[in-house]
Each structure stands twice: as C-alpha cells, then as structure tokens.
C-alpha cells in the first residue's frame, strides 16, 4: 500500500506539473492574441479618427458654403 501511495503521489506531481505547463502555454497564446487585437484596435481607431476629421471638414464646408476639393 505504501509503494502504491508513493507511485500515486509521483504520478499526481507529474500530472500537475504538466497541467501547469499546459495552462501557461495556453495563457501565453491568449496574451499574444490579446496584444495583436489591441494593435488592430489602435490601427482602426487611427483610421476612424482620420475619417471623422474628413467628415467634419466636409460638413464645415457645407455650413460655410465653401467647397473643398479633397480627393481623400
């Protein structure tokens, strides 16, 4: 019984060690994807800001009665 308990203990230690490594790998993948998504969000926000500036300029030109020749 003592030998069986010892084997079970070693097996559980190895299991939890492997489980921890697997969890760390999954977390690393999740963090990498999160970082990539954050970069994409920043890029979209930058483009959206430019678009809003163009729309604002266009609306001001309509309000002022002037015309703009912005090809963007």
Q: Spell out the residues 6+ positions from residue 54 whose beta carbon is closer than 8 angstroms to its own.
A: 70, 72
Question: What confidence category does residue 65 fall into, taking pLDDT thresholds of 50, 70 and 90?
Answer: confident
Q: Spell out the residues 6+ positions from residue 58 whose beta carbon is closer than 8 angstroms to its own.
A: 68, 70
The DSSP letter of residue 72 is: -
Question: What confidence category does residue 20 fall into, taking pLDDT thresholds of 50, 70 and 90?
Answer: very high
Q: What's the pTM? A: 0.60
53 alpha-carbon distance from chain centroid: 26
Q: What was the pLDDT predicted at 64?
A: 85
């Amino acid at each position: 019984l003592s030998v069986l308990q010892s084997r079970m203990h070693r097996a559980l230690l190895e299991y939890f060690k492997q489980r921890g490594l697997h969890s760390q790998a999954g977390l690393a993948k999740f963090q990498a994807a999160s970082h990539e998504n954050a970069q994409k969000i920043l890029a979209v926000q930058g483009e959206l800001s430019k678009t809003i500036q163009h729309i604002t300029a266009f609306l001001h030109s309509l309000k002022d009665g002037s015309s703009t020749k912005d090809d963007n």
